[in-house]
Structure 1
Amino acid sequence: MTLLALEAVSKRYVRGLHEITVLREASLTVNAGDFVAVYGTRSGGKTTLMKVAAGLEAPDSGTVAFEGRDLSRLSTSQLAELHRRRIGWVSRSGPASDELTMVDYVGLPLLGLHGHRTVKRLALAAMARIGVEECSPARWSDLADAERMQVTLSHGLVREPSLLVLDDPTAGLDLIDRERVVALLRSLADDDRIGVLMAVPDMPAMLHAHEVFTLSRGLLLGVPEPPPERGRVIDFPGGQQTA
């Protein structure tokens, strides 16, 4: 099932006297159970691509469709409903206030949908799913970088979305923590059939993805599969050869 389809999406910004094109007719598709990674340099447009894909920013041209519905044709309330129930957005920014405990922050997307006790129970369950339930009483300023990433991932998953869009979730993490986060995202795609679209800051973070793109000068390019390793010719006594 196709969850997300970007078709010929372009996006430009005006900075001073200059117009900067960060996306040039970018196209990609994310199906249920897909893990798609986009690699690019810093300030190369990855965050813009993720925001456009999640419906947080509108493209200047092209279409962004979620489950066949063109997001540009949805009302503000319809888009808000998609973000509350179907599309999980994960960034590294954290809560707006350091007064919130992490269990309250994780439960924010559910406010208005359930009572307080149910919201807390579901938030704790989401944190346990990621393995970070011990952080539930902490504040954002108390957490290490890896814990912050896991908490924001819980925040994105608490609504049980069909699509998870992540903006550079592994940036700044060491190798072990990065591997843990990316392996977890792969398991969400494989086991729970969640569509995952992730911007990545470096090549190793792409290794678990089903499909990989690079973003360069606004162009979204597919990364070709490596050619199969050719057999090595082995010489045997008597002139016989095998490959």
Structure 2
Amino acid sequence: MTILQINHLEKVYGQGSNAFHALKDLTMNVEKGEFLAIMGTSGSGKSTLLNMMAGLDQPTKGTIHLNGQPVHTLRDGALTGLRRDHIGFIFQFFNLIPVLTVLENVTLPSDLASKRKGIKKRAMDLLDHLGISHLAGSFPSELSGGQQQRVAIARALVTEPKIILADEPTGSLDSKTGKEILQLLRTFTEEHGHTLIMVTHDAQVAAHSHRVIFLRDGALIKDTQLAANHSIMEKTSLLNQEFERFSQ
């Protein structure tokens, strides 16, 4: 089942001789339960594309449909509701609120969406699944980076969003902790049907996904399905080769 449809998407900043084409005639689909990685060098359009998917920026041309809703035509109020109720966000630097406990940080999106019924149980179930339920009463400053990212994952999942958007989710973590976080994210897609789209420049990070698209100068230049029977090392090697070829 296709959950995200993007057709002939373009984004142009500026006008005339100063125009910058951040995205160029980009068409792609994302299936429910898929873990998709978006790779590209700095300036390739990765962040612009993620912002478009989230309705944080509007396209110059083209269409974006999330679960059947036309993101590209929604007004501000409807976009706010879409992001609040149907999109989960995972950031590189966690963005936890320091004066709230772990449990309060996780339940905050549900409080904002007025989805309070049974939310504490769901939040605690998520924290338990992520191995940090014993930290529910702790504050972010008392946690390690990996623990904070686990809290951020629980917060992204608590409203049961249609899609999760992750921007370099392991960028501020050490390699061992980053690997653990990526394995958790893949588990949530495969065992719980969550759809995850992740931006990264790191082939080893992208190797944990099901599929990788490569962007260059705002255009989609390669769409690679990763073989399930290949090791992370094999996938990383393949992606590094492709990344080097398409980045030239």
Same fold per TM (> 0.5)? yes
Are 1:107 and 1:155, in contact at CA under 8 Å, matched by a contact in 2? Answer: yes
Are 1:46 and 1:167, in contact at CA under 8 Å, matched by a contact in 2? Answer: no
How far apart in 1 are the matches of 2:225 and 2:2? 22
Greater CA deviation, 6-15 or 175-184? Answer: 6-15
Matched residue of 1:170: which SS? coil
Matched residue of 2:57: which SS? coil
Alignment CA distance shift 1:73-1:18 (3 Å)? closer
Matched, 1:145 2:145: yes
Paired residue total: 225
Are 1:95 and 1:105, in contact at CA under 8 Å, matched by a contact in 2? Answer: no
How far apart in 2 are the matches of 1:211 and 1:28? 12
1:151-166 equivalent positions in 2, closer than 5 A: 151-166=151-166
How far did residue 159 of structure 1 move? 0.6
Residue type of the partner of 1:213? Answer: I
Partner of 2:34 in structure 1?
A: 34
Alignment CA distance shift 1:92-1:136 (3 Å)? farther
Partner of 2:82 in structure 1?
A: 82
Alignment CA distance shift 1:21-1:146 (3 Å)? farther
Larger Cα-atom Rg: 1
Matched, 1:134 2:134: yes
How far did residue 137 of structure 1 move? 2.7
How far apart in 2 are the matches of 1:42 and 1:149? 24
Q: TM-score, normalised by structure 2?
A: 0.79
Are 2:43 and 2:217, in contact at CA under 8 Å, matched by a contact in 1? Answer: no
Residue type of the partner of 1:106? Answer: V
Partner of 1:209 in structure 2?
A: 209
Are 1:92 and 1:152, in contact at CA under 8 Å, matched by a contact in 2? Answer: no
Partner of 1:220 in structure 2?
A: 220
Please give the per-residue CA displacement for 1:168-187, whole angstroms capped at 9, x wherever unaligned. 11113222222212222222
Please give the per-residue CA displacement for 1:5-34, whole angstroms capped at 9, x wherever unaligned. 11122223349x944332222222111121
Query: Which ranges of structure 1 fall in alignment gaps of 5 or more residues?
Result: 228-243
Q: Which has the higher helix share?
A: 2
Q: CA RMSD in A?
A: 2.6
Partner of 2:54 in structure 1?
A: 54
Alignment CA distance shift 1:127-1:14 (3 Å)? farther
Residue type of the partner of 2:186? Answer: R
How far did residue 126 of structure 1 move? 2.3
How far apart in 2 are the matches of 1:103 and 1:197? 25
Q: TM-score, normalised by structure 1?
A: 0.81
How far did residue 76 of structure 1 move? 3.0
Q: Which runs of 4+ in 1 moved over 6 A?
A: none
Matched residue of 2:159: which SS? coil
